[in-house]
Amino acid sequence: MYTGDPPYDFPEYKSTALRHPKHPLIAVGPERGGPALAHLRPGELSNDLTKDGPVGERITVGGRLLDSGGRPITDSLVEIWQANAAGRYRHKGDNWPAPLDPNFQGGGRTVTDGEGRYSFVTIKPGPYPWGNHPNAWRPAHIHFSVMGRAFDERLVTQMYFPGDPLFRDDPIFNSVRDPKLRELMISRFSMNASQENWALAYEFDIVVDRIPYE
Amino acid sequence: MSERKASTPSQTVGPFLAIGMPWEDGPVADRDGVRISGQVFDGAGEPIPDALVETWQPEPAAFARCATDGDGRWHVVVPRTPYVAVHVFARGLLRHLTTRICFEESTVPETVPVDRRDTLLPEETDDGYRFDIRIQAHPPDRETVFFDL
C-alpha cells in the first residue's frame, strides 16, 4: 500500500464509517498492465470547460503526469469534474441552493502529450457547505482522475488552491496525515503561465507510482 | 534516492463523480463478451447509489467502467478470462478498493483465507454472472476480499 494515502477508516469524515472494509487488505501480486488510451472509450474529449461562457473567474489548470522518477507519462487520459463558481455541481444529488449556471457543465477530459503535459481552461470552483459536521465547508477543489501506466497506478484525487482558509477544518483534505503530502494536492499559482487580459494560471503535477514514501 | 518524487495522495471521488467519469459505452468492453452484474453494498447492507466499478483484463486487453444506479446496481460486458481485476470508487472511500472476480477458483490468490475465498467467486445466472461487492460486512453477509496494492 502507498503509505501516503489516507486511511479507509477516518472517523472525522463520517461517510467512511459504513464504507470501509473491516478486514485488513490482503497482499497480492501486481496486476499485469493497465488500460492504454486505445482501450478507453471516453467519447469526445474537451479540455475547455468555458466554451459556453460560464460565470466565474476563468483560469487555466495545467501540469504534468509523472512517475516517481520524474519521467513523463504520455498519451494518458485525464478527467476532471468540479462545482461551478457558486459552489454548485450540475447533479441531481446536489441540493445546495446556490445557483446552477446554465452555461457550465463541470466536466472535462484530455490526454497528456509527449511530455506528459495536460491543460484545462475552466472557472475557479466555489467552496460549498456539506453535512459532515456543524458549519462544514469544502475548500474549493477540482476532482482529477488519471489512469497511470498500470491498473495498479490508478489514481483519483482532488486539486486544491493555494492558501485556502478552509484547509484547517476539512476532514477530506486532512485525511492525508502527512502535511508534506497534503501540499502535493495544492496547485501552484503561476504568474508566468497566466495570460494577459485572459486568465490566471494554476499548475498541478500528478505523480502516480505506488512506491512507499519515506 | 533524494530525487524520488512522492506520489500524489488519493482523495474520494465524492458524490458527483457522474459529472466527470462515466461514458456512454463504458460498461461494454466486448460486445460478444460475458455479462457480469451486481450491486455494491455498505456496512448497513444498503446499496450504494454513487459508486463506480472499473474492470481490467490484460489478455485480451479490456477495460470497462460503470456507475451504480439508484439501487447500487452495475454491469459490465467483458471477455471471458480466468479472472477480472476490479476497482471500486465511492463517496466515503478515501482511496478506491481493489478486488477480483475469479471465474476459475484457481485464480483466487493463495493469500486469501479459505473461509473468504467464495466472496471472489461470481454466481452463474440466466444472463451471465452475478458479483456483489460488499465494502463492509453486514452479517450474515460477509465482506468482499480487497487487495493491498
| Cβ-based contacts of A29 with chain B (< 8 Å) | 109
Burial of A145 (0-12, 13-18, 19+ CB in 10 A): buried
pLDDT above 80 for A213:
no
Residue A57 resides in a domain: yes
Write out residues 151-190 of A within 8 Å (CB-CB) of B. Answer: 151-152, 154-158, 172-173, 175-176, 180-182, 184-185
Residue B6 lies in a domain: no
Q: How confident is the model at residue A78 (pLDDT cuts 50, 70, 90)?
A: very high
A202 in a structural domain: yes
Chain A contact set for B27 (CB, 8 A) = none
The ipTM is 0.96
Q: Which residue has the cell 508566468?
A: A192
Please check whether residue B7 lies inside any domain of the structure: no
Residue B145 within any structural domain of the chain? no
A-B interface: how many C-beta pairs under 8 angstroms? Answer: 224
Residue where the block lists cell 473461509: B115
Residue B114 falls within a domain, yes or no?
yes
Asked if residue A33 belongs to a domain, the reply is: yes
| Residue A111 falls inside a structural domain | yes
User: Could you tell me if residue A116 is inside a domain?
Assistant: yes
- What local confidence, expressed as pLDDT, does residue B4 receive? 86
Q: Position of cell 463520517?
A: A14
CATH of the domain at A101: 2.60.130.10
pTM: 0.97
With respect to residue B149, please indicate whether it lies within any of the assigned structural domains: no
Say if A1 falls within a structural domain: no
The domain tally of chain A equals: 1
Q: Report if residue B101 sits inside a domain.
A: yes
pLDDT at B56 over 90: yes
B91-148 pLDDT tens trace = 999 999 999 999 999 999 999 999 999 999 999 999 999 999 999 999 999 999 999 9
Q: What are phi and psi of B50, to 5 degrees?
A: -125, 45
Is A170 a domain residue? yes
Range of the domain at B55: 17-134
Select the residue of A29, A154, A184 nearest B9 (Cβ to Cβ).
Answer: A184
Identify the CATH number of the domain in which residue B26 sits. 2.60.130.10
What's the domain range around A200? 14-207
Query: Is the pLDDT assigned to residue B2 strictly greater than 60?
Result: no
Chain B residue nearest residue A81, CA to CA:
B20
Mean pLDDT computed over A186-213: 93
**pLDDT of residue B1 exceeding 60:** no
In a domain, B88, yes or no: yes
Q: Note the pLDDT of residue A2.
A: 76
Q: Is residue B148 part of a domain?
A: no
Counting residues of chain A whose pLDDT is more than 90, the rounded percentage is 94
Considering its fold, how many domains does chain B have in total?
A: 1
Q: With b meaning 16 or more CB within 10 Å and e meaning fewer, what string describes A180-207?
A: ebbebbbbeeeeebeeeeebebbbbbbb
The answer to whether residue A135 sits within a structural domain is yes
